[in-house]
Structure 1
Amino acid sequence: MDAVILCAGKGTRLMPLTENRPKPMIPIAGKPILEHIINKIEGFVDNIYLIVKYKKEIIINHFKNHPKITFIEQKEIDGTGYAVLMAKEYIKDDFLVINGDIVFDDDLKNIVDYKNAMALTEVSNPENFGVVVLDDENNIIELQEKPKNPKSNLINAGIYKFEKNIFDILENLKPSKRGEVELTDAISELIQNGNMKGIKLNGYWNDTGRPWDLLDANKHLLKNIKTDIKGKIGKNVVIDGNVIIEESAEVKHNSVIEGPAIIKSGAIVGPLAYIRPNTVLMENTGVGNSSEIKGSIIMKNTKIPHLSYIGDSIIGENCNIACNTITANLRFDDKPVKVNIKGKIVKSVRKLGVIMGDNVKTGVQVSFMPGVKIGSSCWLGANCLIDKDVESNSFVYKKEEKIIIDKR
C-alpha cells in the first residue's frame, strides 16, 4: 500500500509563519509537521508521494534522501481533488491520502482495513469543519461543509483510504465555485453509492490551522519525549523533567531548564537563562543572560541574548531580539486573546504571545501585546509598544520630543 500526502497549500491562516515556508514545514516538537506524519506511516507503506507546490524546494531539500519518497508537483489547477489526481500514474492499488498539516496519535491500523474510508474525530466546534453523519454500521450518509447547524460533532479528520477507482471519479469532476477540483466532491459520490466508511481516530488530533493550534500540538508531542542529554552542560545547571539537549548544544552556568523541552544542536543557553516547560529551541538559537522562554517555539538561528521574556509565542528564523524585549500573553480580563486571521478578528486561547515571521529585529525595550503578528523582515525600533499587527518589511519607530534646557 502507498500513501499520498497533500503538501501543496500555502497556509494563509498561519501567516506570517508561512511567508517563507510551506505550512507542513513549520516545526513542532523539534521537527516539521510533515516529518511527524512520515515517521508515523513509513513503516507500513511501500511508497510515499508528496504533492508539492508552494515553496516546494523546501520540502524537496528536506526529504530528498528518504528512500520511500517521491515528489509530485501540483500543476495549474488548485484543489485537493486535483492534488490527489496528480498521483494517478504512480498508484497501483489501494492507497492512503493524508493532509500534510495534521498532528494525530492514531496508528491508522483500523482505517487501512476498508476499501474506502474517512478518518473522523470529535470536536467541540464542528461548524468550522466538514461534518460527517453516520448510520448504525458506520457508513457515511452525509457530509456537511462548515454547516451553521451541524448534525453531529464528528468531522472529517483529513485522512482517507481509497481504492484506485477514486481517480475515475476525480477525472470527471467539474471545478467547484472556487474554481478548484475538490476531493470532498468525489467523496460525496462515494457516499451516494454507499461506499464510504467513517472510522473514528483514537487519541489526539489537531489540524494546526491557526498559530495557537501549533503551540497546542507542540505541547502534546512534548509529553512523549524522554530525557536525552548529549550537549555540554555548565556548572550549577538545573534540569528538571524530560529534556532533550542535542549534541553540540550548550547550556552555560547557572541556567534552569524545566521539561518537557527540546534544545536542538548548535543552540546556546545561558548563562543564567530560564527555559520553562513546552519550549523548543531549534538549531543554532541563542537564549542568553537572564532571558526567560516559556511554552514557545523559537526557530533556527534566532537570538534572544539578554533580559527578555518570550511566552506562549512562535518566533521565526534569523530573528534578533534585543535587550529587554517583553511579550505580554494574558489579557487583564482573563478572556481569550483576540487574533487577526485573514482579516477577521477571532478568539484564540487564554494565553498567547507574539507570532513573528523570519528576519525580524527588535530594538531595546520593545513590548508586544497579546496575540499580535509581526511580518517577516521588520525592524521594530527601541521603546515601541506593539499593539497591532505589523506588515512584512516595515520599520516601526517612535518619535519623541527631547527637551534640553540649561539648568544653570
Structure 2
Amino acid sequence: MIIGEIMDAVILCAGKGERLRPLTENRPKPMIPVAGKPILEHIIEKVENLVDNIYLVVKYKKEVIIEHFKNRPKIKFLEQGEIDGTGQAVLTAKDYVDGDFLVLNGDIIFEDDLEKFLKCKNAMALTEVKNPENFGVVVLDKDNNIIELQEKPENPKSNLINAGIYKFEDEIFEILEDIEPSERGEVELTDAIKELIKDRKIKGIKLDGYWNDIGRPWDILDANKHLLGKIKTSIKGKVEENVVIKGEVIIEEGATIKANSVIEGPAIIKKGAVVGPLAYIRPNTVLMENTFVGNSSEVKGSIIMKNTKIPHLSYVGDSIIGENCNFGCNTITANLRFDDKPVKVNIKGKRIGSVRKLGVIMGDNVKTGIQVSFMPGVKVGSNCWIGANCLIDKDVESNTFVYKKEEKIIKTLNTIGGLSNMGIGE
C-alpha cells in the first residue's frame, strides 16, 4: 500500500449533540475535551498522515472548530447547508474531494489505524459490542461483503455494528444525490450505503482495539480513562516541596503543583493550572488550562474544563465540569447510589441507567455558594447560580438561579431562665 492513494478525508462535525447537553450548549460535540484535547483532535491525528486534505464539515457552533484548527495547513472547512443528515454532510464535499476518500464521524474515539481501509474501494468499519440493538447492526457474508444493515433492531442478527468510519469511491455522490430525505427530513448516509449493499459493493472491516461512540456523558469519561491509561510521565511544570506523585502523570509547562499535594496518575495537568496546597488529584483526572484545585480539595476520575476553580474543601468525583465555573467552599458531588445500582440520568427527556459511579454533568459559567451538594447523575445547565446550602437532586436548566429560603429567628436573651426555656439548660 502506498501512502497517498487516498487523497482526502471528510470528517462530519455538524451535529448538535443533544444527548450530551449541557456540555454541548457552547461547543459542538467534537470539541469536548477527552484526555486533554478535543475528540476531533484525536480523530485528526489518526488520519493526517494518510491524506492530503482534511475537510471538516461544520454547522452547529462552527466558529469553535474553525478557531481551534484554523492554522492547520491540511484542514479545510465546509459548511453544511439547511438540510441535515450524515448523507448531506458527505454530499457537501462533492466539489472538493478527488477520487477515493475517507469519511469519519466526528464523535468517535478509536484505537486501530486506518491503513487497511486504503486497499478497499468501498468499506465500512465494524466493531463488536454487547448491546448491538442500540446501533446500526451489520450482517456479513463469507467474503466480508456487507449484505444487510439493520437500524437499532429489537432482535439483532449479529453483534457487529457500524463504527462510523468509511472508505468510498466518488460514485457515492451520485447515489446521495438521488436519496430522498428520511421521515425526520435528513439525507441519511446509511440509505446510500444500502444501495451499495444491493450490489455487494461494500466490504466490512473489523476494527481492533478500543472504540467508543461518544453519545452520552459517561462515554466521555470512559474514553478519557482509556486514553489516560496510555500516557507516560512528563513533568515540566513547577512542583513545590513535599508533593507526592504516583503513577503516570503529565504536568505541562506553566502548571504549578503547590506544597503537600498528592497526584495519583494517570492524570494530566494542563498549562496554567494550579493545584494545592494540600490538594488531592486522584486517577483518571484531567485539569484543563488555567484551572485551580485548591486547599484540601479532591478531584477523582473527572474532566475539569478551562478556567474553572475548585478552591477549597470540595470533592468532585466522576464528573464533567464545564469552563469558567467557580465552586464555593465545601461543594460536594455525590457519585454513588446507596443501592449500588447504575446512576439514573435524564437523556433527551428519558430517565435511563448509566454506570455505577457518575457525579454531576455541568455546563459553563456555573457558580456555587458554600455547602452545595449534587446528587449522582444530575445535570446543571450553563450560566446557573446555585445558592448556599442547596442540595441539588434534580436537573437544573440553563440560566437558572437556585437558592434556599429559610426563616431565621432572632431573639434577645435577657436571663438565664430564658435560656432554660429554650431547652439549652442551665
Q: TM-score range by the shorter chain?
A: over 0.9
Kept after mapping to 1: 8 A contact 2:46/2:114: no
Letter in 2 for 1:272: L
- Displacement of 1:192: 0.6
- Give the aligned partner of residue 316 of structure 1: 322
- Displacement of 1:104: 0.2
Q: Secondary structure at the match of 1:317?
A: coil
What are the within-5 Å matches in structure 2 for residues 27-106 of structure 1? 27-106=33-112
Q: Secondary structure at the match of 1:19?
A: coil
Unaligned runs of 5+ in 1: none
- Provide Cα deviations, 1:231-266, integer angstroms capped at 9, x if missing partner: 000000000011000011000000000000000000
Letter in 2 for 1:76: E
Letter in 1 for 2:319: S
Q: Secondary structure at the match of 1:345?
A: strand
- Displacement of 1:43: 0.9
The question of 1:191 aligning with 2:174 is answered no
- Give the aligned partner of residue 370 of structure 1: 376
Q: Secondary structure at the match of 1:405?
A: coil
- Displacement of 1:345: 0.4
Q: Secondary structure at the match of 1:90?
A: coil
Q: How many residues align?
A: 408
Q: Secondary structure at the match of 2:352?
A: strand
Kept after mapping to 1: 8 A contact 2:273/2:288: yes
Q: Secondary structure at the match of 1:110?
A: helix
Letter in 2 for 1:3: A
d(CA) in 2 for partners of 1:369 and 1:341? 16
Q: Secondary structure at the match of 1:215?
A: helix
- Displacement of 1:41: 1.0
Sequence identity (%): 80
Letter in 1 for 2:254: S
- Give the aligned partner of residue 397 of structure 1: 403
- Displacement of 1:406: 2.5
d(CA) in 2 for partners of 1:87 and 1:367? 48
- Give the aligned partner of residue 420 of structure 2: none
TM-score norm. by structure 2 comes to 0.95
Letter in 2 for 1:232: K
- Give the aligned partner of residue 228 of structure 2: 222
- Displacement of 1:113: 1.3
What are the within-5 Å matches in structure 2 for residues 224-243 of structure 1? 224-243=230-249
Kept after mapping to 1: 8 A contact 2:387/2:404: yes
- Provide Cα deviations, 1:300-340, integer angstroms capped at 9, x if missing partner: 00000000000000000000011000000000000000000
- Give the aligned partner of residue 155 of structure 1: 161
d(CA) in 2 for partners of 1:177 and 1:111? 32
- Give the aligned partner of residue 150 of structure 2: 144
Q: Secondary structure at the match of 2:346?
A: strand
- Give the aligned partner of residue 25 of structure 1: 31
Greater alpha carbon shift after TM alignment, 211-220 vs 108-117? 108-117
Letter in 2 for 1:204: Y
- Give the aligned partner of residue 168 of structure 1: 174
- Displacement of 1:109: 1.7
d(CA) in 1 for partners of 2:79 and 2:335? 40
d(CA) in 1 for partners of 2:186 and 2:160? 25
Of residues 294, 301, 304 in structure 2, which corresponds to 1:295? 301
- Provide Cα deviations, 1:102-155, integer angstroms capped at 9, x if missing partner: 000010122221100000001111111000011111111100001111111110
- Displacement of 1:407: 2.6
d(CA) in 2 for partners of 1:369 and 1:52? 35
- Give the aligned partner of residue 264 of structure 1: 270
- Give the aligned partner of residue 360 of structure 1: 366
- Provide Cα deviations, 1:182-205, integer angstroms capped at 9, x if missing partner: 000000000011101111100000
d(CA) in 2 for partners of 1:71 and 1:350? 40
The question of 1:127 aligning with 2:142 is answered no
Kept after mapping to 1: 8 A contact 2:284/2:300: yes
The question of 1:387 aligning with 2:414 is answered no
- Displacement of 1:59: 0.3
d(CA) in 2 for partners of 1:28 and 1:322? 26
TM-score norm. by structure 1 comes to 0.99
- Displacement of 1:404: 1.7
The question of 1:247 aligning with 2:253 is answered yes
Unaligned runs of 5+ in 2: 1-5, 415-426
Larger radius of gyration: 2
Of residues 201, 204, 226 in structure 1, which corresponds to 2:207? 201
Aligned structure 1 segments of 4 or more residues deviating by more than 3 angstroms = none
d(CA) in 1 for partners of 2:36 and 2:403? 34
What value does the CA root-mean-square deviation take over the aligned residues? 0.5
Letter in 2 for 1:240: K
Q: Secondary structure at the match of 1:3?
A: strand
Q: Secondary structure at the match of 1:170?
A: helix
Letter in 1 for 2:344: K
Of residues 347, 350, 355 in structure 2, which corresponds to 1:344? 350
- Displacement of 1:44: 1.2
Q: Secondary structure at the match of 2:158?
A: coil
d(CA) in 2 for partners of 1:313 and 1:191? 42
- Give the aligned partner of residue 423 of structure 2: none
- Provide Cα deviations, 1:7-34, integer angstroms capped at 9, x if missing partner: 0000000000000000000001000000
Q: Secondary structure at the match of 2:162?
A: strand
Letter in 1 for 2:409: I
Q: Secondary structure at the match of 1:6?
A: strand
d(CA) in 2 for partners of 1:169 and 1:34? 27
- Provide Cα deviations, 1:352-386, integer angstroms capped at 9, x if missing partner: 00000000000000000000000000000000000
- Displacement of 1:403: 1.3
Q: Secondary structure at the match of 1:21?
A: coil
